[in-house]
Amino acid sequence: RIDGDRLWRTLMDLAKIGATPKGGLCRLALTDLDRQGRDLFVSWCEAAGCTVTVDEVGNIFARRPGRNPDRPAVCMGSHLDTQPTGGRFDGIYGVLAGLEVIRSLNDQGIETDAPIDLIVWTNEEGARFSPPMLGSGAAMGVFTLDHVLDIRDSDGLRLGDELARIGYKGTVPVTGHVMGAYFEAHIEQGPVLEAEGFEIGVVTGAQGQRWYEATVTGRESHAGPTPMRLRRDALAGAAVMMEAVEAIALEVGGDACSTIGRVQVHPDSRNVIPGRVWFTTDLRNPDSDALARMDAMLRERLAAIAEKRGLTLELTDFWAFPTTPFAPELVDRVRESAQRRGLTHRDIVSGAGHDAVYVARKVPTTMIFIPCEGGLSHNEAENIRPDHAASGCAVLADAVLATAG
Amino acid sequence: RIDGDRLWRTLMDLAKIGATPKGGLCRLALTDLDRQGRDLFVSWCEAAGCTVTVDEVGNIFARRPGRNPDRPAVCMGSHLDTQPTGGRFDGIYGVLAGLEVIRSLNDQGIETDAPIDLIVWTNEEGARFSPPMLGSGAAMGVFTLDHVLDIRDSDGLRLGDELARIGYKGTVPVTGHVMGAYFEAHIEQGPVLEAEGFEIGVVTGAQGQRWYEATVTGRESHAGPTPMRLRRDALAGAAVMMEAVEAIALEVGGDACSTIGRVQVHPDSRNVIPGRVWFTTDLRNPDSDALARMDAMLRERLAAIAEKRGLTLELTDFWAFPTTPFAPELVDRVRESAQRRGLTHRDIVSGAGHDAVYVARKVPTTMIFIPCEGGLSHNEAENIRPDHAASGCAVLADAVLATAG
Ligand SMILES: NC(=O)NCCC(=O)O
Ligand SMILES: NC(=O)NCCC(=O)O
């Protein structure tokens, strides 16, 4: 019913844009490479007979019309942007699995009752412009348009300017797109499906996240003649805090995760005791109470370390979303599709945030996971099996057809 | 005999170039601001009747002739470059104290037997181009000229190109300058003289230093769906290493110091478990055996942490110099000058590296310290008392005169 070879070829074609020597992708949001990727995708959609529109934050909508233009569209989608050292499938798989569904419907001359929309959301990764999921967040009214357009990357470039520069500042009002349902296929990005031998993950929801920024301030002084006892070394203190952040997830256990992804040291000179250190923190837990406990541990422990060392700590909330359940009727539909196709499957909670998390606030939503090699993602070596890619696409096709009628 | 007010005014005049809002200086080596500082200094030297020459690494020599042109010059000097968040006196005080000595000799019509040279060494701080003390190191044959000219800053700019750009690539052969003796006045940069109430530090030598670069490699993966137990988090490991580096100096005790001044995290994205962390380490001890012990502890402990966490550690020696004694006859001369002037003084070992450390390898050398406020240096709030500045300058004048005859 779907063409797994064509899907794979299409994935490999898109993986040429922004390819890294290590076999991954670096196609950061709203760069020239992102534009090239978007352009190629749009050309494929037009060739498949879709009408393409773009909204005010650059989200792309490719519509395959239905018999009944008054029915809200059944939507599929994901994102095309990557991490700086990202893989070929994170996000991209969901978009191109959707394209393969449309191509297969065309091949088989199948008309649906509701229109089908294939969506590319802007800046899902949160790598160049942070936080993540900005396109879907803006579309769902989580962020105002002005707020999103004003976000800057670390070179100070404005999201809105970069969007215009690459030619993807569209005119469709950002919250104006009507969606009847949303399905997002994605690689698991974790080790569970592969380790347990399942072909399909039936995603029942996504775990909650809390992101922070910490600034630790001490006193700059000379690395030589300043005795250890007189130092207020912001980095030595930050190192102990980083260990504490790791310990929080280890102590809470279960699925708890804690990560520090970015660090900046000031003045960043070899023989100057650092006066200021900035770092990010990402706490996650599928259990809301446990996540709240992690939040309290973070605040308490970092403050205690700062206090003990005569350092100042500024800990700010940067971004968060609560544990998000997906629409039970769509989750069931995915499970049934997998079952009917004879694919092994298990229910799973997403460890990552996805555009589906924001879409779920307004629209019945769910996701379909396929295994990835070693559970590895946000890594250039990220990999999947072509047969898994085809299986996930088939389940997506069934679920979308069952919904669109 | 010397004019303390003029010295202070001159210090304040030079402190206008590269002044920061917090009252310090940012005048990194071979920047436009460094050029402006050098130009002002050269104009002052020429106004004082000196002949100015520049060598192949941009070291500046201002000569006040003596009766006997065949005698090797008695030299004074230090540096004009600063840390990114540096103070107004580190290096600059030694240069301008030397200028005040020359101006005072002129005022009083004193002729010396040997010529007197006032030297500005290029890139002492090691902040923009690392390691430190490159100008004096090249002049003393510690580094080859080509090696020094090829060193790059973190933007990839070549020292040699920047030298030519600011117009300070001179023609005097870098190892060709003949020096009979070298005196460097400097702020202590540590708390000892102030805390113990001494006006002059008679510097008997400088403690040894060992600098390193560490690269910790783990595996990049997704901050959400990657369980804690499957992570090889380069930053979590590096944080424990940073704590171990601090612990080394605390355990060895005495004057031992350990500092991490720079850290870089890759790929530096909030939701990516860092795959690689690079950091610098600076170990110091006046006791050579203790420094060797610290070196062994560093290698052993960092390797053990890497091993335990499944990380790879590459620890490379970046720069080092052994504990360096200064010339006893010059040290005595400084002590006697302080005594004769009725200034309180104590012997002291320099906690910092100085151009004097490299010059001492070939030329009888010593230093004169004055107290600085709270022992604070490599900090914009670095400060000294005008009367201390004048006292140090007077001792420098006496020691130079006694040597030049
Ligand atoms: N899938 C993905 O990497 N999303 C970005 C948000 C997150 O870090 O969970
Ligand atoms: N004085 C000074 O800051 N020198 C640089 C070399 C060192 O860090 O000791």
**Residue B353 Cα, ligand 2 centroid: separation in angstroms?**
4
Beta bridge partner(s), residue A313: A216
**Residue A237 Cα, ligand 1 centroid: separation in angstroms?**
29
Neighbours of B227 (CB within 10 A): 16
**Region for B254 from its dihedrals, namely left if φ exceeds 0, alpha if ψ lies in -120 to 50, beta otherwise:** left
Q: Which of B191, B237, B209 is nearest to B318 (CA)?
A: B209
Angle separating helix axes A4-14 and A92-107, nearest 10 degrees: 140
SS3 state of residue B365: strand
CA distance B55 to chain A (A): 27
- Nearest-atom number in ligand 2 for the CA of B126 is 5
- B257 lies within 8 A of chain A by CB: yes
Is the confidence at residue A397, as pLDDT, over 90?
yes
- B255 lies within 8 A of chain A by CB: yes
Paired tokens of A279? 């770092």
**Region for B376 from its dihedrals, namely left if φ exceeds 0, alpha if ψ lies in -120 to 50, beta otherwise:** beta
Nearest-angstrom CA–CA distance, A133 and B318? 42
Helices (H), A112-233: 134-139, 145-149, 159-165, 192-196
SS3 state of residue B257: strand
- Which amino acid is residue A176, in one-letter code? G
Is the confidence at residue A67, as pLDDT, over 90?
yes
Is the confidence at residue A223, as pLDDT, over 90?
yes
- A240 lies within 8 A of chain B by CB: yes
Nearest-angstrom CA–CA distance, B188 and A197? 67
pLDDT band at A220 (very low <50, low <70, confident <90, very high): very high
SS3 state of residue B250: helix
The reported pLDDT for the residue numbered B1 is: 87
Average pLDDT over residues A238-255: 97
Question: Between residues 337 and 396 of chain B, which touch chain A (CB distance below 8 Å)?
Answer: 350-353, 375-380
- A296 lies within 8 A of chain B by CB: no
> Average pLDDT for consecutive 10-residue bins of chain B (405 residues)?
96 97 97 98 98 98 96 98 96 98 97 98 96 98 97 96 98 95 97 95 98 97 95 98 98 97 97 97 97 98 98 98 97 97 97 98 98 95 97 98 95
Which residues in chain A have their CB less than 8 angstroms from residue B270's CB? 126-127, 130, 211, 261-262, 280, 282
Beta bridge partner(s), residue A279: A214, A263
Paired tokens of A130? 């942070």
Task: Dump pLDDT digits (tens) for B79-88.
Answer: 999 999 999 9
Q: Which of B193, B139, B116, B155 is nearest to B30 (CA)?
A: B155
Please, are residues A366 and A158 in contact by the beta-carbon 8 Å criterion? no
Paired tokens of A121? 């959301």
Cβ of A353 below 6 Å from ligand 1: yes
User: Which chain B residue is nearest to residue A132, measuring alpha carbons?
Assistant: B271
**Residue A85 Cα, ligand 1 centroid: separation in angstroms?**
14
**Residue A223 Cα, ligand 2 centroid: separation in angstroms?**
8
pLDDT band at A307 (very low <50, low <70, confident <90, very high): very high
**pLDDT, averaged across chain B:** 97
B353 to A188: CB separation less than 8 angstroms, yes or no = no
The reported pLDDT for the residue numbered A296 is: 98
CA distance A376 to chain B (A): 6
Nearest-angstrom CA–CA distance, A7 and A389? 8
Task: Dump pLDDT digits (tens) for A172-214.
Answer: 999 999 999 999 999 999 999 999 999 999 999 999 999 999 9
The reported pLDDT for the residue numbered A359 is: 98
- B223 lies within 8 A of chain A by CB: yes
A269 to B125: CB separation less than 8 angstroms, yes or no = yes
Q: Which of A188, A158, A106, A99 is nearest to A376 (CA)?
A: A188
What is the b/e burial string over A16-46, where b = at least 16 CB atoms within 10 angstroms of the residue's CB? ebbbbeeebbbbbbbbebbbbbbebbbebbe
A249 to B228: CB separation less than 8 angstroms, yes or no = yes
Task: Dump pLDDT digits (tens) for B49-74.
Answer: 999 999 999 999 999 999 998 999 99
- B226 lies within 8 A of chain A by CB: yes
Is the confidence at residue A1, as pLDDT, over 90?
no
- A26 lies within 8 A of chain B by CB: no
- A223 lies within 8 A of chain B by CB: yes
CA distance A108 to chain B (A): 37
- B222 lies within 8 A of chain A by CB: yes
Residue having the nearest C-alpha atom to atom 5 of ligand 1: A125
A268 to B262: CB separation less than 8 angstroms, yes or no = yes
**Residue B159 Cα, ligand 2 centroid: separation in angstroms?**
19
B190 to A227: CB separation less than 8 angstroms, yes or no = yes
Nearest-angstrom CA–CA distance, B269 and A85? 9
Structure-token match 């080509």, residue found = B146
Average pLDDT over residues A234-254: 98
Cβ of B353 below 6 Å from ligand 2: yes
Cβ of A354 below 6 Å from ligand 1: yes
- A256 lies within 8 A of chain B by CB: yes
pLDDT band at A384 (very low <50, low <70, confident <90, very high): very high
Question: Between residues 126 and 185 of chain A, which touch chain B (CB distance below 8 Å)?
Answer: 126-127, 130, 132
- Which amino acid is residue A249, in one-letter code? A
B267 to A84: CB separation less than 8 angstroms, yes or no = yes
Of A130, A225, A257, the CB nearest to B224: A257
Cβ of A334 below 6 Å from ligand 1: no
B377 to A221: CB separation less than 8 angstroms, yes or no = yes
Please, are residues B35 and B122 in contact by the beta-carbon 8 Å criterion? no
- Nearest-atom number in ligand 2 for the CA of B209 is 9
**Residue B20 Cα, ligand 2 centroid: separation in angstroms?**
20
Beta bridge partner(s), residue B212: B281, B317
What is the b/e burial string over A183-217, where b = at least 16 CB atoms within 10 angstroms of the residue's CB? bbbbbbbbbbbbeeebbbbbbbbbbbbbbbbbbbb
- Which backbone phi and psi does B13 adopt, to 5 degrees? -65, -45
Nearest-angstrom CA–CA distance, B396 and B231? 59
SS3 state of residue A263: strand
User: Which chain A residue is nearest to residue B208, measuring alpha carbons?
Assistant: A224
Which residues in chain B have their CB less than 8 angstroms from residue A84's CB? 267-269, 272
**Residue B225 Cα, ligand 1 centroid: separation in angstroms?**
9
